[in-house]
Amino acid sequence: MWLKVLGFGDKVKEWWTSYGVSGTPSFHLSKKLKWLKGDIIRWNNERGEGARELDESEKERLGEVKREIVELAIAQETSWRQKSRALWLKEGDLNTKFFHRVAVANRRRNFIESLVVDGVRIEGEEEVKGAIVGFYENLYKEEVSWRLTLGGIEFKHIGEGDSEWLERAFEEEEVHEAVSSCAGDKAPRP
């Protein structure tokens, strides 16, 4: 912040050369740094006193901007925490370097570089995507276009009881149990 103020570098040089210290080089440096710190603090306070007072609309806008910055920082931190999948960490940890490393490691580990389909090696992002989509599109298709019928009655692949159980309405306890068994930022298991 200070380095962007016009003439600050010259002011520091002026202060630094004005200090008269004798002794060992390390003592000399230590004393000059201590005095320089004091001069910078005084200079910063003087600049603050000379600034004008904000009016009500500017104060309100300043408050809004500060709130937005806090919300964005929390959103960014939460995003990186979720990407890192580090369950042992709590909200509010500002160790984003850790989150970045874990998220990048997860991305690398989950990346499919190549795939072997019917003895043929498939490489390239788009080709691998196409092979995966094709596999799942064909996974549940029936190879046979006809089914055995007896007097117009079609045979089902699963029993009547299983069919009814699959189509039944969910019970509130079942839904509550499934949702509460999840971690706070995870989806329920099947």
Q: State pLDDT tens for residues 130-177.
A: 988 888 888 777 666 666 666 666 665 677 787 787 778 877 887 788
Model pLDDT, residue 186: 65
SS3 state of residue 184: coil
Separation of alpha carbons 131 and 134, rounded Å: 5
Residue 85 phi, psi dihedral angles, 5° rounding: 55, 35
Model pLDDT, residue 98: 75
Model pLDDT, residue 90: 54
Q: Which two tokens stand for residue 36?
A: 């320089």
SS3 state of residue 45: helix
Q: Which residues in the chain land under pLDDT 70?
A: 1-2, 48-52, 84-96, 142-157, 184-190
Half-sphere exposure in the Cβ direction for 77 (13 Å, CA) = 13
